[in-house]
Amino acid sequence: MSLADVADRATSGGRTPPMVARSGRFLRSEIGMVFRRRRNQALLVVLGCIPILIAVAIKVSGGTSGGGNGDAATLFGSITSNGVFVAFSALFVIMPLFLPMAVSVVAGDSVSGEANSGTLRYLLAVPVGRSRLLAVKFAAIVVWCVVCSFVVAVVGVLIGLVLFGGGEVTLLSGTSVSFAAGLWRLTLVAGYVACSIAAVGAIGLFVSTLTEVPIAAMATTLGLTITSQVLDAVPQISAVHPWLPSHYWQQFIDMLRDPMALDKVGHGLLVAATYTALFLTLAWARFNNKDVTS
């Protein structure tokens, strides 16, 4: 029996509490377990260090952009004029590798880690329904995605304000908006990043139901995200690029225009929702028919 269910019975006089109360306590227990693990804490520290490294590097270099063109170069070139762009630049940097890696570690360990440690069978014997277990696991993964993206955003804003100051935000289209409006756009961007990367969490949850070896599930999930990005770089298959999970990951840059160009952002959310629904369904079908022996 899990600690959450033991506490449930203790607080209800030995009676089984309502389903909503048990699910809420189970979810809190799962989220707490995710954030108490030293490995996950280390990942958050690494993610938080990325905007600091970017800001310090720009400051030490005297604010030179280092050449290049395009929206990415404009993001980095705008850091010296307003510290909020440290957060935007850091989110742009972490999307291809660092964030998928952090999510792959948590998602890949979600079910396979329980099986590997021998606690999965006891969780299901409480009884915790398999569908409810998967729902709680995925909800914890989504919380992890949100926290990861907002940690980078918040640290980026703070270090940016310290080193470069704030004030009006000049968007990529050349229009200036208030600092508060810039923070609102940063909130939207961080939310979009979290929603996009949640699809990786769904893929990782499915892979985690296929094996009892957590490291294999983590590596497979990260490998699939890298494969998506490799395919996205092959021009001969450009017809499938819009439906690759990673194709629109960095499209949040369109939110930094005036007016915001939301066509590709909307398509990116649709793709993320499609992959999330698909792999959650596959995870449910696999897990509900899986023999749990450990």
Cα–Cα distance between 269 and 212 in angstroms, integer? Answer: 31
pLDDT attached to residue 83 = 93
pLDDT attached to residue 65 = 54
Q: What is the CB neighbour count within 10 angstroms for residue 58?
A: 23
Q: Cα separations (Å) of 221 from 20, 101, 201, 226, 264?
A: 31, 9, 9, 9, 25
pLDDT attached to residue 239 = 94
Contact yes or no for 270/242 (Cβ under 8 A): no
How far separated are the first and last CA of the chain, in Å rounded? 14
pLDDT attached to residue 14 = 46
Per DSSP, the residues of 184-238 read HHHHHHHHHHHHHHHHHHHHHHHHHTS-S-HHHHHHHHHHHHHHHHHHHT-GGGT
Contact yes or no for 211/217 (Cβ under 8 A): yes
Tell me the pTM: 0.89
Please return the burial class of 222, using the count of CB atoms within 10 Å of its CB with bins 0-12, 13-18 and 19+.
buried
pLDDT attached to residue 19 = 57
Cα–Cα distance between 40 and 159 in angstroms, integer? Answer: 22
List, for residues 9-20, the tens digit of each pLDDT value: 334 444 545 656
* Domain residue limits, the chain: 22-288
pLDDT attached to residue 117 = 79
**Nearest Cα to Cα of residue 78 among 5, 207, 167, 140:** 167
Sequential pLDDT tens for the chain (294 residues): 343 443 343 344 445 456 566 678 888 989 999 999 999 999 999 999 999 999 999 999 876 655 555 778 889 989 999 999 999 999 999 999 999 999 999 999 999 988 887 777 666 666 567 888 899 999 999 999 999 999 999 999 999 999 999 889 999 988 999 999 999 999 999 999 999 999 999 999 999 999 889 999 999 999 999 999 999 999 999 999 999 999 999 999 999 999 998 999 999 999 999 999 999 999 999 988 766 655
List, for residues 51-75, the tens digit of each pLDDT value: 999 999 999 987 665 555 577 888 9
- Quote the mean pLDDT of the chain: 88
Q: Can you read off the two tokens belonging to residue 60?
A: 């030490």
Burial call 257-268: b when 16+ CB within 10 Å, e when fewer: beeebeeebeeb
Q: Cα separations (Å) of 102 from 18, 164, 206, 251?
A: 34, 29, 16, 20
The neighbouring-strand residues paired with 169 are 177
